[in-house]
Structure formats: C-alpha cells, structure tokens
Structure 1
Amino acid sequence: MDNEIRAWLKDIEQAILEINSFLPESKVFTDFQKDLKTKRAVERNIEIIGEAMARILKVDPYIDISDTRKIVDTRNRIIHGYDSVSEDILWGIIIRNLPVLEIDVKKLLK
C-alpha cells in the first residue's frame, strides 16, 4: 500500500477515535444535541475524514471502503452548506456509518 494512503487511513482512524472519545457516555441523542462543543468537534473530524478520503480516492479510486463518495460528499456539505447539516444527520453518521468505516480502515491497515 502507498505510504500516503496509509497516512490518510491513519488520519481517518484517528478522527474516528476522537469522535468516539467526545461522545457522551450515554450515547443518547438528546445529550449530544445539548453539547455544542461535541457537535463542532464531530463536524471537524468528519471534515478530516472526508478530506482524507478525497485524497485517497485521487490515488486509488477503487479502494475497498464502503460509501467513499458519501463520505466525501458529507465533508463538502459540512464545509459548503454548513447550515444544512442537522444534528440528526451527524448522529446518524456517528451511529451507523462510522462503525462500518472503522472496520474497513482497520482491515486495510493490517
């Protein structure tokens, strides 16, 4: 595997770890909604994940990661349409998409 791709995968892995560390222990949506700092930290880490994925796709458009285009699109939406990203969307990404992405990234880094 290309060293740049490995570095970007590590960035994605680190961003996922940070998101998980920021979440309230309860993992209850209403607790997340009340915590502006956590929401902003999650947004920033999703931006990092999306940017790293965009860079990876330029080098290897066929990398074995689920929903690569959605990841990049989400990053773009947060950056360019920040007012259209709801708490529900962020929470859905955290609960449904990040666990799958984490598995894919760990598999590639082995």
Structure 2
Amino acid sequence: MDERILKWLFDIKIAIEEIDSYFENQEKDFFKYRENIMLKRAIERNLEIIGEAMNRILKRDLSFESEISNAKAIIGLRNQVIHAYDNISDENIWSILINHLPKLKLEVDQLVDKQ
C-alpha cells in the first residue's frame, strides 16, 4: 500500500478514536450531544478530517472505493459540513456516529492491519 494512503487511513483511524474518546465513561446520549456546542463542533471537525482523508485516498487510488463502504458519501458529508454548515442536522450527524462510524472504524482497522 502507498505510504500516503496508509497515513490518510491512520488520520481516519485517529479521528474516529478522538470522537469515541469524547464519550469515554459515559453513555452516548443524543440530547446531551445536541445541547453541547463544543462537542458538536469537535465531532464535525473530525468528520471533516475523515472526509478529506477519504477524498485524498480516492484521488490517489480509486480501488479503495470498493474497500470502504460509503466512501463517496463520507466525502459528501465533509463537503456538507464545510460548505452547507447551516443545513447540518444534529439527527443526521448522530445517526452517522451511531450507525456508520463503527463500520468505518472496522474497515479502516482491517486495511491498516494488512500492512
């Protein structure tokens, strides 16, 4: 695997771990998330990093689109967070955290472990 791609996969892995760390020693609670502007912005920033890293990976090697579920949607979310920030829904971000981030973490871990 290309060294740059491996670096970007680690960037994704670290961003996911950082998001997970925000909920250490506590349950993930949507209502607490919705009321905590710093938490929301921190999570959005990590989602931007994940999306940008994914964008760079696909630009370098399109075959990763089949290795990572929803790779294009991840990039689309990054674009939405950056460019359509006023249309971001707390429910949508929360759904991504609960339903999609664990799968992405698994896929990235498997790709990194191959190295």
TM normalised by structure 1 equals 0.97
Matched with 1:37 is 38
- How many equivalent residue pairs? 110
What is the alpha-carbon distance in structure 2 between the residues aligned to residue 22 and residue 82 of structure 1? 21
User: Which amino acid in 1 is paired with 2:73?
Assistant: K
What is the CA-CA distance between 1:34 and the residue it aligns to? Answer: 1.3
What CA deviation, in whole Å up to 9, does each residue of 1:22-48 have, x standing for no partner?
137121111111111110000000000
Matched with 1:77 is 80
What is the alpha-carbon distance in structure 1 between the residues aligned to residue 63 and residue 2 of structure 2? 13
What is the CA-CA distance between 1:62 and the residue it aligns to? Answer: 1.4
User: Which amino acid in 2 is paired with 1:79?
Assistant: I
What is the alpha-carbon distance in structure 1 between the residues aligned to residue 32 and residue 63 of structure 2? 38
Say whether residues 1:12 and 2:12 are aligned partners. Answer: yes
User: Which amino acid in 1 is paired with 2:80?
Assistant: R
Give ranges in structure 2 of 5+ residues lacking alignment: none
Matched with 2:47 is 46
TM normalised by structure 2 equals 0.93
Matches within 5 A, 1:71-110: 71-110=74-113
Which 4+ runs in 1 deviate beyond 6 A? none
Q: Percent identity?
A: 45
Give ranges in structure 1 of 5+ residues lacking alignment: none
